[in-house]
Amino acid sequence: MSARPIRVLDFGQVMAGPLAGRLMADVGAEVIKIETPEGDAMRGRPPLRDGHSAYFGTLNAGKRSVVLDLKTEEGRRDAFALAKTADVVMENFRPGVMARLGLGYEALSAVNPGLIYCAISGFGQQGEGAKRPAYAPMIHAASGLDLALMDFVPGAERPAPTGMFYADVLAAIYAWGAVQTALFERERSGKGQMVDVALMDSLISMMIYEVQEAQFPQPRKRHVYIPVRTAEGFVIVVPLSAKNFAAMLEVLGSPDWGNDPRFTTPAGREANWAEIMSRVERWTEARSSDECERLFMAAGVPCSRYRTVAEALADPVSVERGITGEVEDGAGSFAVPNPPFRLSLTEAHVRRRIPALGEGTEEILGPLRVGDDG
C-alpha cells in the first residue's frame, strides 16, 4: 500500500460534495478543495464571525483551498493536471458540466486509470432525471418523505417546512462509503471506477418501512411515537416491551386503566398508543421534564426529555464521547461535529485547520506548472 495519503480533488459546492470531502479529510486523506476566484458560496453563509462562516468551516475543515477559474483554458488545464495526480475526484455539479469542461470521468480516467471519480447529483448521471435541477428541499418533496412525515402529524393540513437538508447529508455519507469501497477494489484489481450517487436514491433508502408499505398497504396507519407534555416542556416515553409497560405503570402509581384489555398485548398497545400516551400525559404534565426522565429511566422505562441542540452538545455523555472537535479559521476556534464513528487503528476526527480562499494554490500547483506531472 502507498505510504502517501490518498489525494482527493474536491470540486464540491455548497453541501453534499463538500461534506463527503470533509469525511475523507477526517480519516486522513489530503483533500484539495477547488474554488472559483469568488470562493464557495458557503463562505458567505451564516453563522458568520468577523466575516468567516462557521457553516463553511464545518463542511471544509481539514482541506486545502486551490483557486481555479474553470471558465478559462488555463484553469481547466491546471485542473486536468491536478486530476492526473489524484486518487479520487469528487464533484456535485449538474450531470454533464464536468464533461463539457473536459474534466469528466472518461477524459480523466484515460490519463489516470486508477482514478475513483465520484459524482453526486439529484437523480443520477443518466436518463431524464439527470436534466433536472436538484436541491435538497425538492428531493424531500419528490421522494415522498415530506408527505410521509405529514402523515405522522394528526390534523396536519400541509407538509412541514424544510430546514434540515437530510438528502444532502445522506448522499454525502453514501458517497464517502462508496469511495472507500472503490478504493478497496482498486487495491485488489488496480482499477479505478465511476461512483454515481443520487440524492433521490439516498433519501428513498432511508424510508425502509414506507417503501414496503407503498407496495403492501396496511389496514391502519403506522404506529408512531408521541411526545407528551410536562410542566415546562416535553418528554418521549417508549414502553415497547411488556416489562417496560409494567414498569411504567408502577411509576404512574399502578392506575386502573393499566388493566384495560386494549393494553394487555403488544399489538393492542401499538394500536392504542395515542390513548395510552394521553393517559401518561395526565401524570407527566404535573412534573418537570427532568423529573419524568429521572423516574422513568430509574425504573427501566426508556424515556428522554426534549433538548435543544446546545443542551445535547453540553451533555456529559456527548463531551466524553468527543462528539465534536475544535476547528479554527481567521475568526478563531469553534466546535463542529466529528464523524459519527470511531476506529481502533485509524484516526477519525475533524482536522483543525479551515482553509482560507486559495491558500494552497501556489504550493500545490507550482510543481505542476513547471512540468512536474506527478
DSSP assignments along 72-136, one per residue: SHHHHHHHHHHHTT-SEEEE-SPTTHHHHTT-SHHHHHHH-TT-EEEEEESS-SSSGGGGS---H
Burial of 349 (0-12, 13-18, 19+ CB in 10 A): middle
Q: Which of 168, 196, 201, 329 is catalytic?
A: 168
Grid cell 392504542 is found at 272
Q: How far apart are CA 68 and CA 37, in angstroms?
A: 7
- The reply to whether 373 belongs to the active site is no
Q: Where do runs of H (alpha helix) occur along the chain? A: 16-26, 54-60, 73-83, 97-100, 105-111, 136-142, 145-151, 166-189, 199-206, 208-215, 242-251, 266-271, 273-284, 289-298, 309-314, 316-321, 361-369
Q: Point out the residues that are catalytic.
A: 168
